[in-house]
Chain A
């Protein structure tokens, strides 16, 4: 009796540990980021990066997610901390296209991340080309909304 009880307890603890481990794993691999790409000039520590290419295509996992002319910004939602992309850089109109493979870890704490591509291509340090994107809440978001909490709400309106 005591033995089987012990076994049950061990089983339970193992189950809980496994669940916690899965949860931790999900925290790490499931963290979503929104990455913004800027094809713009950038000022950093007194020096200016103004070598902005004519067009940059951003390819992730073989899928083109953004095509940026000079001065444009694109975005993509990603999952996980390791971020890999392929940049197809076209420096001049009708010019030759060069391929650049870029991989970098994304900081866990940032929801939105801006990558300045020209600065990155120029080989500046990470804190130059990577900045946090802080969204300005829209007017609709700032507006106070009235919370409807009707206990019988779901009784007549069955939703979709």
Chain B
């Protein structure tokens, strides 16, 4: 199995991508290209649009990347992403509570989030091992339960930093916490390139590239290939002496940790920490992004992540401006809902071999 994976050449992969591209993806790509072509004519500034897309890519890339390990190990799409996001939020709030500021607070947040992600991820992975075959639905509800549990916790936990708690009551965290003075743009401003209206958050892109490369490298290690084997044929993997449960557990922990880091990167770009219900809104966009990129329920590559995030974020950022300028009718929300959920539906209904 391992040799087989290793011998897939670049050419094969290109062919694979072309084959996997599929009609819906083609439509979405065409739509985005159309938006880009039309935008200068309706008075939208193209460089601003492009830097918007690049920025949004840098915010969301890692959250989408977090899907990869679980898809590889056959656990399906990680609808339980909010769990990882909560680990990240715990790290972020703790880092501020402990008095770290500036870029330092970002790395402390990442460091503090890690143990939470490991613990939550392990429990979550253990649970998913108990219920093989029903992962996605249960992942969704694990996400919901943890978000609603944390809603109580954000109110009850003894946070004191005046920048985070409600001013009046002096306790309970605010719904949105500004990161001004903490790690807003912490990564983006590293080596940032500004040409006219075009600005590129080099640091954040490099950080994504680093994690993406590490993921790619990991998938080519022994454990990584074992993960792919477990995902594509668990029976075969078991008979080859691979500890299936352990591999799946690793993938879930990785996914959870990446989600934790992903939300921190998102926050440094966005400039705010969003608590309470916010993690709810995070899983579906990430899921549909990777699917738009060409992944399926049990197959995903780094390339899928990159293409998918660009396409998804491109549509999300371009439609409102272009539509507003063109027909003074902002239908972007509706288009986003239909496209992203339609994409997930498409992926769920395709016949996939092996596990669900």
Contact = CB atoms under 8 A, between A and B. Distances in A.
Partners in one complex: yes
Interface of A: 149, 151-152, 155-156
12 contacts: A149-B333, A149-B334, A151-B337, A152-B277, A152-B280, A152-B284, A155-B277, A155-B280, A156-B147, A156-B148, A156-B151, A156-B276
For chain B, what secondary structure do more than half of its interface residues adopt (helix, strand, loop), or is it mixed? helix
Interface of B: 144, 147-148, 151, 276-277, 280-281, 284, 333-334, 337
Contacts of A152: 277, 280-281, 284
Nearest to B341: A151
Contacts of B337: 151
Contacts of B280: 152, 155-156
Contacts of A151: 284, 337
B272 to A, nearest CB: 18
A67 to B, nearest CB: 51
A155 B143 CA distance: 12
Nearest to A149: B333
Contacts of B333: 149
B112 to A, nearest CB: 26
A156 B143 CA distance: 12
Given A149-B334, A156-B148, A156-B151, 5 more contacts: A149-B333, A152-B284, A155-B277, A156-B147, A156-B277
B239 to A, nearest CB: 42
A155 B144 CA distance: 8
A155 B283 CA distance: 13
Nearest to B281: A152
Nearest to A151: B337
B148 to A, nearest CB: 7
Contacts of A156: 147-148, 151, 276-277, 280
A147 B147 CA distance: 25
A10 B144 CA distance: 49
A148 to B, nearest CB: 11
A72 to B, nearest CB: 47
Contacts of B284: 151-152
Contacts of B144: 155
A155 B281 CA distance: 10
Nearest to B340: A151
Contacts of A149: 333-334
B111 to A, nearest CB: 30
A79 to B, nearest CB: 36
A149 B151 CA distance: 22
Nearest to B148: A156
A152 B281 CA distance: 7
A152 B285 CA distance: 12
A155 B147 CA distance: 11
A47 B280 CA distance: 70
A149 B337 CA distance: 10
B82 to A, nearest CB: 11
A155 B276 CA distance: 12
A152 B337 CA distance: 11
Contacts of A155: 144, 277, 280
Task: For the complex of A and B, list the 7 residue pairs with the smallest distance between their C-beta atoms, beginning with the closest.
Answer: A156-B277, A152-B280, A151-B337, A152-B281, A155-B280, A149-B333, A155-B144
Contacts of B147: 156
A152 B147 CA distance: 13
A156 B284 CA distance: 16
Nearest to A157: B277
A151 B276 CA distance: 16
A149 B334 CA distance: 9
Nearest to A147: B333
B137 to A, nearest CB: 15
A149 B336 CA distance: 12
A147 to B, nearest CB: 9
Contacts of B334: 149
A6 to B, nearest CB: 35
B269 to A, nearest CB: 21
A151 to B, nearest CB: 6
A151 B284 CA distance: 11
A157 to B, nearest CB: 9
A151 B277 CA distance: 13
